[in-house]
Amino acid sequence: MRTSAAGEILGPGLLTERPANEETSPHYAGWRVVLACFLVALFIFGFGLYGNGVYVAELQRLRGWSAPLISGAITLTFLLSSIFATFTHELMEWFGSKRRNRCERATRDQA
């Protein structure tokens, strides 16, 4: 039997200790991606979905808009986003990455 530099017993070509890049390890790089996605979702849900009561009251005070008008616009935004999200794959196939990149450059140049 062989031993590693740390003194672990090694089998026939296998370490008994798991490498740091394995998914169950706390040092796995994918956990940073999970954390980033969690933080993005936290802000989206916190400000976008559950902050509407604050936004409606403040827009009424600042602009004088009615609560049904503001709430209707927010509802329409969520509804259209849900519908467009369903067809994202088809839209990306139709536009293609080159056409999408050209559109992004054109809008960036105008700003």
By residue count, the chain amounts to 111
pLDDT band at 5 (very low <50, low <70, confident <90, very high): low
> What is the rounded distance in angstroms from the CA atom of residue 30 to the CA atom of residue 28?
5
CA angle 38, 104, 35 (to 5 degrees): 10
Token pair listed for 87: 């067809």
**29-69: pLDDT as tens digits:** 888 888 999 999 888 888 877 888 888 999 999 999 999 99
Strand blocks (E) in the chain: 2-3, 9-10
* pLDDT over 60 at 17, yes or no: no
Say how far apart CA 7 and CA 63 lie, in whole Å: 71
